[in-house]
């Protein structure tokens, strides 16, 4: 199945910027399909004018004169396709067209004002009445000589050629990042590029995705059987519902309760998928098996491995009971397929081994179907709502595969799990009551393995510490802690202490990511 078949697209050539995925998301938010290709792959890529309506060159950590590392398919400049270069991409256009790039005396990082020098289709409605616009910069090099036949459209204090254009060739360059939200009118600029310069039409919406994916699934799967591991999370829920709509009873979902889920989560999953949506659902309550295997294990990576391996074993056992299955459906997302970091050849170091169902069925000889593999998380959420899944499922905060096990540092036991489920539930309920749940990207309670002294009534207590974590984020790669009103935090703390026996102290985690991670283990 290939969602991108027959879709006109904006191709984004990635030079390793941390913002490349954001460019693709912004283009899609404007209703136009976009795909990312690594600059090394772009070297041999056959750009087809009928299919590619515009090209965006991303930013990146390199210097345009590092010829051994910067590989650019020069043919793109001869295709008669509009090109927009962003930051490093802007410098590439300038260099390739005969301009010069220099290392700046002053780096520009953060918000900078750009002043209008000339009118251009690219900057229609971009500048304010004083001919200025605030943009987000992150560069050391800058264009020091304008290429022939290019015009200067905008300048900042430390970079004269901040916005440039060659109107005949339809080549445009901006030194700043229109894709980040800090750039005031970044979306306006991208919109101008798409609709006024590339003259694209909208071809990307949740409805179009639903129609195309369900049709493609029908064509691909035919009358064959499919199994799917359902976790109750957004991705697997959307995959299950897409298959349900496409192939109905030929789908069987397997839901393994690890005993490490949030309070009442298993009931909600069974209620939604089995009772309401009438999906074939095999429910396996394996809570005791997981707790037995995790006995006395305190090492985070060991915990993750034990949970991942046992999950696979149980899933396989039940999958084998279903006869004549040909496919396994997985909720792989687009970011899983893109290797943005490889532009510099550097590997990001492994911080935690994330356990997903991915790669699970090698032994089982099943063919994979990945209906979400061209979608970003926010697109999956919108598609879920389009598929009439409840907001409760779709807008739910992310939850890690190893579940509560990595929210109880150190050794786990049933008592700790029970305490944590209650505390977490009170926390989340309070967030919902105060209208904060949807403003926060992820929130949870954790149980620290330390007991401290407290006083309740006139009695001394000696109980666990509950840690609260609530963060804002775009994609989970970086995060800031959420700024609560003191009263709300106070209220949450009271609720937990008064209602959950086993906890006598509540603390709030005020670290961002980096340096911390979102989960504790
Ligand atoms: P960290 O802790 O690495 O988490 O900052 C980033 C995001 O990933 C989630 N997470 C996981 N998700 N399996 C998952 O499916 C895992 O093993 C796992 N570990 C962390 C985490 O909840 C956060 O949203």
Choosing from 39, 177, 355, 397, the catalytic residue is: 177
Q: What is the pTM of this model?
A: 0.86
Nearest atom in ligand 1 to the alpha carbon of residue 308 is 17
Q: Which two tokens stand for residue 452?
A: 């401290």
The pLDDT tens digits for 311-367 are 999 999 999 999 999 999 999 998 887 743 444 443 334 556 554 444 455 667 899
Q: Does residue 408 lie in a domain region?
A: no
DSSP E strand boundaries for 22-99: 34-38, 52-57, 83-86
| Site residues for ligand 1, CB cut-off 6 Å | 352, 354-356, 398, 400-402, 442, 476, 513, 517-519
Distance 397 CA to ligand 1 centre (A): 11
Q: Does residue 130 lie in a domain region?
A: yes
DSSP annotation of 204 reads -
Active site residue 397: no
Q: List the single range of 51-55, 354-358, 367-371, 383-387 with lowest mean pLDDT.
A: 354-358
The pLDDT tens digits for 475-516 are 888 899 999 999 999 999 999 999 999 999 999 999 999 999
Distance 519 CA to ligand 1 centre (A): 7
User: Which range marks the domain in which residue 493 is found?
Assistant: 413-508
DSSP 469-499: EEEE-SSSSSBEE----HHHHHHHHHHHHHH
Mean pLDDT of 157-175: 96
Cα angle: 277, vertex 403, 292; to 5 degrees: 105
Q: Whose CA is nearest to atom 22 of ligand 1?
A: 400
Q: Is the pLDDT of residue 34 over 80?
A: yes
239 and 110 in a common domain: no
Number of domains in the chain: 3
Quickly state the pLDDT bin for 5 (edges 50, 70, 90): low
pLDDT of amino acid 345: 40
Active site residue 370: no
Mean pLDDT, all residues of the chain: 92
Q: Which two tokens stand for residue 101?
A: 């790039």
Cα angle: 238, vertex 434, 472; to 5 degrees: 55
pLDDT of amino acid 355: 44
pLDDT of amino acid 2: 53
Give the span between the Cα atoms of 297 and 410, in whole angstroms: 7
pLDDT of amino acid 476: 87
Q: Does residue 41 lie in a domain region?
A: yes
Give the span between the Cα atoms of 433 and 487, in whole angstroms: 14
Q: Whose CA is nearest to atom 20 of ligand 1?
A: 400
The pLDDT tens digits for 169-222 are 999 999 999 999 899 999 999 999 999 999 999 999 999 999 999 999 999 999
359 and 322 in a common domain: yes
Out of 394, 428, 463, a domain closes at 394
Distance 62 CA to ligand 1 centre (A): 30
CATH at residue 501 = 3.30.300.10
The pLDDT tens digits for 393-410 are 999 999 999 999 999 999
The pLDDT tens digits for 254-285 are 999 999 999 999 999 999 999 999 999 999 99
CATH at residue 88 = 3.40.50.880
């Amino acid at each position: 199945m290939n969602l991108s078949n027959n879709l006109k697209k904006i191709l984004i050539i990635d030079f390793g910027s941390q913002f490349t995925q954001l460019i693709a998301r912004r283009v899609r938010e404007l209703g136009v399909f976009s795909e990312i290709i690594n600059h090394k792959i772009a070297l041999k890529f056959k750009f087809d004018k009928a299919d590619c309506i515009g090209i965006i060159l991303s930013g990146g950590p390199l210097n345009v004169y590092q010829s051994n590392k910067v590989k650019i398919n020069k043919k793109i400049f001869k295709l008669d396709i509009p090109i927009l270069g962003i930051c490093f991409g802007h410098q590439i256009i300038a260099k390739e067209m005969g301009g010069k790039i220099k290392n700046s005396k002053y780096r520009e990082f953060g918000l900078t004002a750009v002043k209008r020098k000339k009118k251009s289709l690219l900057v229609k409605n971009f500048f304010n009445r004083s001919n200025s616009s605030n943009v987000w910069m992150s560069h050391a090099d800058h264009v020091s000589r304008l290429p022939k036949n290019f015009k200067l459209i905008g300048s900042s204090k430390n970079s004269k050629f901040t916005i440039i254009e060659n109107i005949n060739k339809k080549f445009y360059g901006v030194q700043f990042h229109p894709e980040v939200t800090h750039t005031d009118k970044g979306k306006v600029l991208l919109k101008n590029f798409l609709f006024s310069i590339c003259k694209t039409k909208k071809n990307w919406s949740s409805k179009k995705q639903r129609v195309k994916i369900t049709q493609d699934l029908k064509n691909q799967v035919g009358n064959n059987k499919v199994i799917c591991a359902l976790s109750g999370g957004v991705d697997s829920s959307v995959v299950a519902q897409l298959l349900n709509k496409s192939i109905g009873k030929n789908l069987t979902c397997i839901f393994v309760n690890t005993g490490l889920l949030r309070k009442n989560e298993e009931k909600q999953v069974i209620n939604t998928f089995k009772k309401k949506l009438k999906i074939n659902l095999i429910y396996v309550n394996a809570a005791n098996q997981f707790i037995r295997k995790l006995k006395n294990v305190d090492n985070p990576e060991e915990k993750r491995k034990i949970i991942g391996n046992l999950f696979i074993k149980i899933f396989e056992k039940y999958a084998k009971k279903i006869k004549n299955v040909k496919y396994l459906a997985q909720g792989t997302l687009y970011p899983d397929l893109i290797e943005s970091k490889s532009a510099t050849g550097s590997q990001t170091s492994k911080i935690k081994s994330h356990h997903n169902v991915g790669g699970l069925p090698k032994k089982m000889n099943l063919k994979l179907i990945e209906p979400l593999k061209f979608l970003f998380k926010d697109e999956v959420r919108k598609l879920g709502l389009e598929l009439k899944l409840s907001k409760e499922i779709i807008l739910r905060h992310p939850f890690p595969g190893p579940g509560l096990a990595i929210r109880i540092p150190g050794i786990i036991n049933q008592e700790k799990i029970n305490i944590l489920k209650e505390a977490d539930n009170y926390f989340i309920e309070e967030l919902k009551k105060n209208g904060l749940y949807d403003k926060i990207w992820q929130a949870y309670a954790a149980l620290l393995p330390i007991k401290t002294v407290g006083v309740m009534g006139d009695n001394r207590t000696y109980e666990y510490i509950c840690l609260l974590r609530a963060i804002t984020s775009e994609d989970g790669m970086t995060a800031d802690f959420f700024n609560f009103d003191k009263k709300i935090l106070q209220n949450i703390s009271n609720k937990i202490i008064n209602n959950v026996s086993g906890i006598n102290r509540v603390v709030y985690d005020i670290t961002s990511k980096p340096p911390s991670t979102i989960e504790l283990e």
